[in-house]
Amino acid sequence: MTRLRVGDQVPDLELGHLANYPHDNVRISSFRGKIILLDFWSTGCTGCMAAFPKMEALQHQFRENLQVILVNPWQTDEKIKSTMEQRNYTARYRLSSLPAINGDSTLVTLFPTRTVPHHVWIDQEGKVIAITGGYNATEENVKALINGEKLRMILKPSLSRFDIEAAPVTSYLDQTAFTRSGHSVLRPFYEGEGGTVYGYSAEHIVDSAKGTVRYSYVNIPAMQLFREAFDLRQSLDRKEEIHTTNDQLLWEVTSPDWYLQPAKGIAMDNWARRFRFCYEVTVPLAEVQYLPDIMLRDLNALLQPYLPLRGSFEQRARKSYLLEITDTQKIAGIKTSGESDTDFPSAKNSYTYTYTNTPFRYIFSALKRKFYMGSLGNEPPVHHPALPLIDRTGISGTISMRLPAFDNPVEELPELNNALAIYGLRIRESIEKIDLLVFSDQ
């Protein structure tokens, strides 16, 4: 059997070992007149198992026109059960009551994949109409397909066509679709085989023979491309790998909601087509220090025909919060060593984080994330501007401490400081100069 693609007719296979169905064996033709949705999953994908109730609801709602079949070709029934028990998944997830084919490689031979969830949509006549990720399994999409509407769902690649470590992105794509500068190429979202709605990028790829370095990105949001350039600048300045935190992003656009990514369905596909791009830049190794500025200049120029978005690297004085030492003797008492452990808030203990021999940088990162909780990464903040939290303690190594759980770091700062005071620490408001990636209108 050979791999099937969108538009191919599915052969009238006999599906064996079908669980949760009146018959152990059934042919594909038995479902003619219905949309078939093959949902590939495994116990290694908790998101797949978490989606079972949604899939069951779709099956119940459209039972006359839809047949969902779960497919786990990698694990037998016994292996699934034992893995669920070993990982204590049975407390959080339950196995679905949907028809299921486990431990049979027939369908994965026709629709090979390296990732799950992997959805194969087959129309009422047995033709493959889409191969997508799990987010497109929505009531709206199923209803539209049943009514014969054509949906432009972004196709999930069965196997990635791209090997961007081996060859430039441009060698895989239609050259005429690119806009160019002296250093870079950029094209809109790529929907063909090898593209993905989630996107991916390659780390820098050095060609020592040519003396160049190449950065390649496939279907990455424009905002993330700017962030990649900003990360690189921070890393080169500090001579260590730096990943920009959300409190270093500043949105000054007229309509920030326009950039928010929908959660699922065709809306997410349409967002990807508008905001995700393929980008590649190559420079001589001797000019790597100029790469962040080259990327910034090129992105601002090459994105202009597609988005009214501009990025800039700036240093501004901003309202910030400083974590600092107030009592050095107390600090000395919390520096510990031994096996590391963290006890998170739970149903039994919903108010406290207990850190035991935990790297201080880990605890600071957890605090820092709370201060920019209103920001959604590359998207504009939806509740309040991300607040910078700066470490001025100089603490390294591991420590042990207990901190209260909190939702709003500003409103609950007095309570948090009461807890920190026990360890000779405090957080205070300040005005500090911060390196920022600023988004504005073109």
Degrees, nearest 5: CA angle 158-163-169 = 105
**Both 289 and 323 in a single domain?**
no
How far apart, in Å, are the Cα atoms of 177 and each of 18, 162, 167, 172? 46, 17, 18, 12
Q: Which domain holds residue 220?
A: 169-315
**Both 388 and 265 in a single domain?**
no
**Both 310 and 335 in a single domain?**
no
The Cα 401–Cα 44 span in angstroms is 33
**Both 310 and 348 in a single domain?**
no
What tokens does 72 get?
Answer: 């786990």
**Both 19 and 130 in a single domain?**
yes
**Both 296 and 387 in a single domain?**
no
Say how many C-beta atoms besides its own lie within 10 A of residue 187's C-beta: 22
Tell me the pLDDT band of 375, cut-offs 50, 70 and 90.
very low
User: Looking at residue 97, what is its pLDDT?
Assistant: 93
Residue 89, domain member (yes or no): yes
* Domain final residue, candidates 293, 315, 337: 315
Residue 67, domain member (yes or no): yes
Positive/negative CA dihedral, 398, 401, 406, 408:
negative
**Both 42 and 138 in a single domain?**
yes
Tell me the pLDDT band of 198, cut-offs 50, 70 and 90.
low
* Domain final residue, candidates 315, 338, 353: 315
- Amino acid identity of residue 315, one-letter, is Q
User: Looking at residue 173, what is its pLDDT?
Assistant: 65
Residue 151, domain member (yes or no): no
Tell me the pLDDT band of 430, cut-offs 50, 70 and 90.
very high
Give the global pTM. 0.69
- Number of structural domains in the chain: 3
